[in-house]
Amino acid sequence: MSDEEIKEKRKTLFTDERRCTGCRTCELACAFYHYKEKNPSRALIRIVKLENKLRDVPVVCRHCEKAPCMEVCPVSAISRNKETGAVVIDQEICIGCRACVEACPFSIIVVDPKTNKVAKCDLCGGNPRCAMVCPMGAVFFARLDVGPRILARNRLEKKILEKP
């Protein structure tokens, strides 16, 4: 399969903040899948409370096409998984310099306090647990060309339901 064919089929996480209730089920599923801990602070997805908008917003790694984290890594510990399209960190190579933390425009790369190395979403190997468990569909896993259409449909449904 060519790089172009892989890109066409690539899936990633999308978020619809209007659907998020702040239940943090996604964080628990992520932390348990990756660390076998029921501790949302270990999650690689974050629910951010926007007090000024009275809204909870799921923040996920976007697995950027031109990933700044990958570009700044001095030891090439960050690469794109050919099968899933996820931008992943090789913990064996990572030196914990945190250059990627600074480079991430979404501030979603974290330092694992137990290893002192960086960690980020790896799409759970192609089956993201956060999307599987989100009861409201605020986090979902879709092809790059389909996700924006789902978001547009969700916005339209909300507008239709709000009309008298």
* 58 three-state secondary structure: strand
The domain in which residue 140 lies consists of 3-162
What pLDDT digit, counting tens, does each position of 47-68 carry? 999 888 788 999 999 999 899 9
Query: What is the pLDDT, as a whole number, of residue 113?
Result: 87
What pLDDT digit, counting tens, does each position of 89-145 carry? 999 999 999 999 999 999 999 999 888 999 999 999 999 999 999 999 999 998 888
Query: What is the pLDDT, as a whole number, of residue 72?
Result: 98
Of 13, 39, 12, the residue nearest 27 (C-alpha):
39
Distance CA 1, CA 10 (A): 12
pLDDT band at residue 146 using 50, 70 and 90 as cut-offs: confident
Query: What is the pLDDT, as a whole number, of residue 7?
Result: 61
Q: How many domains does the chain have?
A: 1
Q: In this structure, what CATH number is given to the domain that contains residue 31?
A: 3.30.70.20
Instruction: Name, in order, each residue with C-beta under 8 angstroms of 39's C-beta and a sequence gap of 6 or more.
Output: 31
